[in-house]
Chains A and B, each alone.
Chain A
Amino acid sequence: STVICVFEKDAIGIDNDLLVNSGRSLETLVSVGMQLGVSTRTFARSTLI
């Protein structure tokens, strides 16, 4: 089984080590709660729902 998360374009800056490994077609062993990335912009919640 697999989970895929899709973020809006340019909404997240994914941690570099994860991107580097993936760019080598290499999966990274991670655990729940480890940092994935940081938001790159702020959204107004009122526009979301």
Chain B
Amino acid sequence: MGNGNSREAKESRRSRLRHKLQKFRIHRRHLRSSRNSAGMVIQRTVSAEDFSGIALLTLIGAEMKFKDKWLACVSFGEQTFRTEISDTTQKPIWNSEKKLLLEKNGPSLARVSVFETNRVARNKIIGYCELDIFDFVVQEPESTCKSFNLLDPTSSNVVGSIFLSCAIEDPVETERRFAKRILSIVDYNEDGQLSFSEFSDLIKAFGNLVAANKKEELFKAADLNGDGVVTIDELAALLALQQEQEPIINNCPVCGEALQVSDKLNAMIHMTLCFDEGTGNQVMTGGFLTDRQASYGWMFKLSEWTHLSTYDVGLNTGSSASYIVVIDRKSKRLVEELIDSKIVLSMRAIYQSKIGLRLMDQGAKEILQRLSEKQGKKMSSVESAQKIPRFLEFFKDQINMAEVKYPLQHFKTFNEFFIRELKPGARPIACMNRNDVAVCAADCRLMAFQSVEDSTRFWIKGKKFSIRGLLGKNVNPNAFLDGSLVIFRLAPQDYHRFHVPVSGVIEQFVDVSGSLYTVNPIAVNSKYCNVFTENKRTVAIISTAEFGKVAFVAIGATMVGSINFVRKEGEHVKKGDELGYFSFGG
């Protein structure tokens, strides 16, 4: 076992590890000095106490005393992560990895627990061990597999053994990868080069006004041949150099947390882990995500709905805010809708990059599903009603309570308020007596195209988009091929009930299972992302005398994945009738 050593021995091992990391830093200094084309020698003092690093812990497998299905959990500091469940066996194999942050004065003791899981004993703890990660990496610097006894938590008898490996990631390598990774986020066309505008977006996201004012200067310094573009490698080198001289990253572009500019290595490690969290990049994911973790993870950022439950992820963040511009049909004016630039950057990172979407493996999709389900439960609790006044204050210019059917005290949960009804007549229906006039189905931001070809030319960039894909395999698409397309996108503040756009008969409802990606324009405009054909949705076919068949597709999204219809198959519906609503949930 890794515990039970004397304090002196532990301190000695830590000193050795610090020494090892210091060697990395000296190497890095030399590396930078030698590649500094300006001939400037960088002097950086590194204290041996200034310890920080990333440890890669792998839960390889275990040997237990009886056959069952097994899972293992690692608790480290405030975080807990779990493996997948093994097959029924006495020797489960997980090979699950997790990166852990080791920092000065931070946690070092990890507790690994093994649970049996079956119908009778769901997730019953059978054994555990504790190990000091610092000790482990000093004793086994090359990440060899090591066995630890598993103790019964009630009797301390040995009930099996677990096999683990752990290694410290080279900080030089971590930094190099990080620089390339963060810069590749804004390389929207993925040509390996950054234009000035791509670079500017990144600097803006760093939340450093001084750097933002110097971005031309920074860009010029990297663009050695003056052709207006620089390679990612050149910019990575420049960024590293600038960080040494004058830090330009004040805030983590992922979670927005203010970084300690004096502690560059820790800042970089923080951002590296922040990027990894929730992307599915790591085999072992947080099955027991805390709210704090979830709110710091990528997945939670991948929705414009995030701020509904975390107002601290504000949209009114001054220089870091971005806008989606829409045109108000009634006033014929352009309206800027605020969206947090961190969310924009996160969405771009995932949805508009091939690499980002590759990271969105099955595990990440499950996290989205779980987060949405969790959010559904939270927003249906009585406590959630407390959020309503702040929500109203936040959107005070966009929600008119005078047109809401019931007074505020009527709503016992946030979800009830979210699916609020409007007073009769609050939404006049155009040409009510003419069924040859179709009307808008929702309070929304609308895009309309006379043909599918136009829709893909101007808006839907997912390579796999098709009417056949949108309707799913259980709806005959023939009537709709080459048809017209109208997209109604609902924003968090909108009235969330949808209405019938045409009068007719509901022929059928067909549920199509799928993911819960965001339906934000950033995702819709991504060639790598196919939200309309991959998200969970319900298709209603309405037969009409005036328009033929109309396919009404209600598509769920991150956080708001619950699709509810209030009409049934075979019912006659009149345009403007309420047809259903979206609510929080999975």
Contacts and interface: CB of A to CB of B under 8 A. Distances in A.
Nearest to B451: A9
Interface stretch (B147-155, B311-319, B349-357, B554-562): B554-562
Interface stretch (B101-109, B209-217, B476-484): B476-484
A3 B9 CA distance: 64
A49 B570 CA distance: 10
B441 A3 contact: yes
A49 B546 CA distance: 14
B172 interface: no
Interface in A1-49: 1-9, 11-12, 14-15, 17-19, 21-39, 42-45, 48-49
A32 B448 contact: no
Contacts, number: 222
SS class of chain A's interface: helix, strand, loop or mixed? mixed
Nearest to A22: B447
Given A3-B554, A11-B484, A25-B459, A45 B545 contact: yes
Contacts of B359: none
Interface in B305-336: 324-330, 335
Interface stretch (B30-38, B405-413, B498-506): B498-506
A27 to B, nearest CB: 4
Contacts of B41: none
Nearest to A26: B327
B446 A28 contact: yes
Given A5-B552, A14-B486, A31-B427, A36 B436 contact: no
Contacts of A36: 437-440, 448, 486, 501
Contacts of B228: none
A31 B429 CA distance: 10
A14 B427 CA distance: 20
B582 interface: yes
Of the listed residues B436, B448, B467, B554, the one surrounded by the most CB atoms of chain A closer than 10 A to its CB is B448
Contacts of A7: 438, 480, 483-486, 547-548, 550
Contact of B446 (A27, A45, A49): A27
B510 interface: no
Interface of A: 1-9, 11-12, 14-15, 17-19, 21-39, 42-45, 48-49
Top 4 A-B pairs, shortest CB-CB distance: A27-B445, A35-B430, A39-B436, A48-B543
Interface of B: 324-330, 335, 427-431, 436-451, 454, 458-459, 467, 470-471, 479-490, 495-496, 498-499, 501, 505, 507, 519, 521, 532, 543-557, 560, 563, 576, 582
23 contacts: A2-B489, A3-B444, A3-B552, A4-B486, A4-B532, A5-B550, A6-B470, A6-B553, A7-B483, A15-B448, A22-B447, A22-B454, A23-B454, A27-B324, A27-B326, A29-B444, A31-B443, A35-B438, A36-B439, A42-B546, A43-B546, A45-B545, A48-B543
